[in-house]
Amino acid sequence: MRTLRTVATGSGPAPARTWRAAAVAVVSGVILAACGGASSSSPAVDPHLTAGIKAEASGNSALAVSNFLAVVKADPTNNLAWYDLGVIAHRAGQDPEAIRDYRAALVGHPTYFPALYNLAILQTAGDPKGAVQLYRRALAVEPRNAAAHLNLGFLLQSQGQQAAGSSEIAKAVALDPSLASRVPVTTTLPK
C-alpha cells in the first residue's frame, strides 16, 4: 500500500509553483462541485471521503491525504478519492504521483472526466500524443467542454496539426465566446 506523502504547507515548494496550485485549487473546487461529492462506485458516501474533502477545504492536506488513503484502502476503485489524491499531489508539485493517482481513478471508471482532463493537462509536456488521446476521451464524455476543446486545439497546433487544432479552438470559442480573448490573433479559425 502507499505511504502518507509529504505535502507542502506554505514554506515548502518553490514560489514558481504558486500559479499551478491556484489553478488546480480552482479546478478541483469546480470539479468537486460538479461531481456531487460522491464516488460513482457506491451510492453511500464514505465518512473518510467526507472528512477528506472537509480537511482539504480547510487547508489540511495531510489529514485529507490520510482520509483519502483510508477510502482507497477500503475501496480501491473509489474514483473520487483517487482523483482528490491526484489534485493534492499536483498542487504539491508531485506530478508523477498525481499522474499515478489520476490513472488509478480511471481504473474502475475509464470515463471519469475530471481525471481524464487533469491527466491530459499533466501529460501535455511529457507525452503530448498521449495527452491528445486523453483530451479526445474526455471530450467523448463531455463534448461541450470548451476548456478541453481549447487545450486540445493548442496542443494539436503545437504538434503541427494546424487545421485540426484550429477546428478544436473554433469549437471552444463557439461553446464559450469569452475564450476568444485567449486565442492568438495569428490563429485562423474555420468558419
Strands (E), 50-177: none
pLDDT in tens, 59-107: 999 999 999 999 999 999 999 999 999 999 999 999 999 999 999 999 9
pLDDT in tens, 97-142: 999 999 999 998 999 999 999 999 999 989 999 999 999 999 999 9
Q: pLDDT confidence of 44, banded at 50, 70, 90? A: low
Cell representation of residue 154: 493548442
Residues above pLDDT 70, as percent of the chain = 73
Nearest to 98 by CA among 133, 71, 57, 126: 126
What is residue 112's three-state secondary structure? coil
User: How is the chain split into domains, by residue range?
Assistant: 15-110
Find the mean pLDDT for residues 49-58: 93
Q: What is the model's pLDDT at position 21?
A: 31
Residue 105 is which amino acid? A
Cell representation of residue 102: 489520476
Rounded to whole angstroms, the Cα distance separating 102 from 81 reads 10
pLDDT of 15 over the 80 cut? no
Which CATH number applies to 15-110? 1.25.40.10
Q: What is the model's pLDDT at position 42?
A: 43
pLDDT of 12 over the 60 cut? no
